Amino acid sequence: MEQIKRKKKQNLRRIVESFNQEASLFDKGARILIGVSGGPDSMALLSLLSELRPKWNLDLTVLYCHHGLRAAADEEEAFVRSWAEKWGCIFFSRKLPVREYQRKSGRSLQEAARELRYQAYEDFVKKKNIDRVALAHTANDQAEEVLIGLVRGAGLGGLAGIPAKRGRVIRPLIRTYRQEILDYLADKEIPFQEDLSNRDFRYLRARVRHHLLPELGKYSPNIVAQLNQTARLLQKDEEYLKEKADQIEPAVLSCSGATATLSRHQLADLPQALSSRFIQKAVLATLGHLRHFRAVHILSILKAAQGNRTQGTIPLPNGLSAKWNRKDIKILRTDSDPKPMVPFTYEIEKPIEIFIPETGASLSFKKVKAGSKSFELPGHKNLARVDFNKLSWPLVIRNLRPGDRFRPLGMEGSKKVSRLFIDRKVPRALRDRIPLVLSGGEIVWIGGMEIGQPFCQDHHTTLVLEIVYRKEKGL
């Protein structure tokens, strides 16, 4: 599927060196920290910078981040260490408490790992007087990032993809295609490690890489190059709009503590390309990230700014609200605790559809024969499949009770449901509106979220119970 934009094979070292001169990634004598995982991209980056070292008088240090998530990590660490020493580079390894940070922060596993990696890079920059941090993102990663932005409904900043340079972080391979890297490694007889998690289709990036991009390649064989061209064009637009926004920011946005204040009239008069940028900056200032913040939220705030109502409130993700009056729109955390919902309980004797009037949601249950498709990951989180023969009827459908625990899929031991809701950043107002499905007193499924380990399918499964959760609006 993948087509290389360059028509003939070229010297990759010269390509990278030329790109460095074009983008001013690093100067002669630079102290560079290279993030190396042992995969093909990072091994190629390490080799290429080692080739450039004599001419550019580079001081190279290698950092391997050990996430503690896979048994193969110890072997990868030793592999990277041996090759760093072979090329005469200083080697460091940093163990990252990814699962602990994920639990405390509520981030996804991938988000937690990424944030800790970048913290490690920042630490080394400060402690070792590093000039640049070189990461091995490629043109293929760039194409994937653009598609992920489209799937998630990102704005211009998200669609602009991965910058070649941001602060001290540089990406010398961002114009290099994966096939070029594999050819280079083969020519140089440089081995690399395969990370099997890159084929874990629970992650959106893996599905984009192995399913969506190949499918798009059937319509446009040069899709990776075209997406990269799109990203470069949007990056220019992004740079221009950022410059304009910086010039007028004092008149539009101010921040004090945990509250960001937007001038309602200024916001209403700005082009949407600028006004949406200030709304995102306000959320960032209040929350520190933009996870779960989508275009629909930006448009709701803009509608409030431009409307005739003199005051109002818009609920936002992650416990935020936008509150406005005649003059301002304030982005702030919601402080008031909602009143808990009255407990509800229902029983079903067989697979049927049940409506929950307390929440306006419904659950439908259907018995089907097990097959290859029943073991595939559901297309959306509001569908669950469990082993029918592991269930005891009647099933109970109810909301949260104090002390409720369940056994998460793939984990030993049990976990409090309330803890799961906290970890997943479920707003307090919604926690006792989410239905729990129980069999014999054990939780089969937390609606839209987690299956209980005792009820998962295995190679003995012959019958499957499919459960579909049709949420009330706002859940």
* 3-state SS track over the chain: CCCCCCCCCCCHHHHHHHHHHHHCCCCCCCEEEEECCCCHHHHHHHHHHHHHHHHHCCEEEEEEEECCCCCCHHHHHHHHHHHHHHCCCEEEEEECCHHHHHHHHCCCHHHHHHHHHHHHHHHHHHHCCCCEEECCCCHHHHHHHHHHHHHHCCCHHHHCCCCCEECCEECCCCCCCHHHHHHHHHHHCCCCCCCHHHHCCCCHHHHHHHHHHHHHHHHCCCHHHHHHHHHHHHHHHHHHHHHHHHHHHHHHEEEECCEEEEEHHHHHHCCHHHHHHHHHHHHHHHHCCCCCCCHHHHHHHHHHHHCCCCCEEEEEHHHEEEEECCCEEEEEECCCCCCCCCCCEEEECCCCEEEECCCCEEEEEEEEECCHHHHCCCCCCCEEEEEHHHCCCCEEEECCCCCCEECECCCCCCEEHHHHHHHCCCCHHHHCCCCEEEECCEEEEECCCEEEHHHCCCCCCCEEEEEEEECCCCC
Give the whole-angstrom CA distance, residue 235 versus residue 467: 43
| 8 A C-beta contact, residue 261 and residue 274 | no
Q: What is the mean pLDDT of residues 320-331?
A: 92
Please give the pLDDT value at position 28: 95
How high is the mean pLDDT of the chain? 88
Give the whole-angstrom CA distance, residue 246 versus residue 201: 40
| Pairing outcome for strands 328-333 and 259-263 | antiparallel
Whether 41 has a pLDDT exceeding 90, the answer reads yes
Please give the pLDDT value at position 1: 44
Q: Which residue has the tokens 């002669």?
A: 28
Please give the pLDDT value at position 463: 94
Angle in degrees, CA 81, 85, 89, rounded to 5: 100
Please give the pLDDT value at position 69: 83
- Quick: pLDDT tens for 225-242: 999 999 999 999 988 998
154 vs 382, which has greater pLDDT? 382
Please give the pLDDT value at position 380: 66
| 8 A C-beta contact, residue 132 and residue 166 | no
- pTM for the complete prediction? 0.64
Give the whole-angstrom CA distance, residue 213 versus residue 219: 10
Tokens linked to 459: 């190679």
Q: What is the mean pLDDT of residues 110-136?
A: 91
Whether 475 has a pLDDT exceeding 60, the answer reads no
Distance of CA 58 to the CA centre of its chain: 33
β-sheet bridge partners, residue 446: 436, 450
Band the pLDDT of 336: cuts 50, 70, 90: very low
Give the whole-angstrom CA distance, residue 119 versus residue 114: 9
Band the pLDDT of 378: cuts 50, 70, 90: low
From 223-227, 265-269, 457-461, 469-473, the region with the lowest mean pLDDT: 469-473
Please give the pLDDT value at position 7: 47
CB atoms within 10 A of CB 343: 11
- Quick: pLDDT tens for 351-377: 999 988 877 788 999 999 987 665 555
Burial class (CB in 10 A: 0-12, 13-18, 19+), 311: exposed
Q: What is the mean pLDDT of residues 396-400?
A: 93
- Quick: pLDDT tens for 51-105: 999 999 999 999 999 998 888 889 999 999 999 999 999 999 999 998 888 877 7
Q: What is the mean pLDDT of residues 135-164?
A: 88
Whether 340 has a pLDDT exceeding 70, the answer reads no
Whether 470 has a pLDDT exceeding 50, the answer reads yes
Please give the pLDDT value at position 409: 80
